[in-house]
Amino acid sequence: MIRLNHVYKNYGTATDSLSDINLSIARGEFVFITGPSGAGKTTLLKLLFMAERATKGQILINDVNIGTLKARKIPHLRRAIGIVFQDFKLLNSITVLDNVSFPLEVLGLSRRDIKKRVMRVLKFVGLTEKSNYYPLELSGGEQQRVAIARAVVNEPPILLADEPTGNLDSELTLDIIRLLDYIHKKGATVIMATHNKDIVERFHKRLVSLDHGRIL
């Protein structure tokens, strides 16, 4: 499903942020991307959802070379990729329902269909009763579950999570990882960046370690 061949990323400095990355991830895998701060974890995920383009090398998603995609084709690619961020990136001025609805509105679905699908996914993450709350009225763990609901509401085959538990305590961290694991078991390919060694040791998934932009 995902292949990176001799991928480099440089931001105009003397040191590459990513250097000669060769990586294959099969459909339906759950992969932890680990490494210290600055290792290149976030940069790698950004390349996958086209927030950045590789300086050199080839990235294939479903046999499509995303490095050659025209800008107008990028939104279509992103519909197949759900993204969960460490800082949630929710819109605080609108409700939970409207935050989760946003990816479906882009697809042009009717309001009735959107609400039906959103309420289904809010039930899935245990937040049905909070649909009319605003993000700042929720706990950190609840906000992250909203972010996950938004990422999976259109049922993307790939889910990227960039340090999704970085701002949560240990108990909430386990809840979020169990939720991601459940999404994986339903068929999604999950790629999660983390520096939390306890998570990696507790959940026995494939591990890819980065250090100074290279795979160890």
Q: Could you tell me whether strands 214-215 and 206-211 are parallel, antiparallel, or unpaired per DSSP bridges?
A: antiparallel
pLDDT digit string, tens, across residues 68-78: 999 898 988 88
Q: What's the CATH code of the domain at 52?
A: 3.40.50.300
pLDDT at 44: 98
pLDDT at 11: 94
Both tokens assigned to 190: 């999950």
What does pTM read for this prediction? 0.94
Both tokens assigned to 71: 């800008």
For 163, list phi and psi in degrees, rounded to 5: 50, 55
Domain, as residue range, for 20:
2-215
* Band (167; pLDDT cuts 50, 70, 90): confident
Q: Which residues pair with 167 in a beta bridge?
A: none
User: Domains in the chain: how many in total?
Assistant: 1
pLDDT digit string, tens, across residues 181-215: 999 999 999 999 999 989 999 999 999 999 999 99
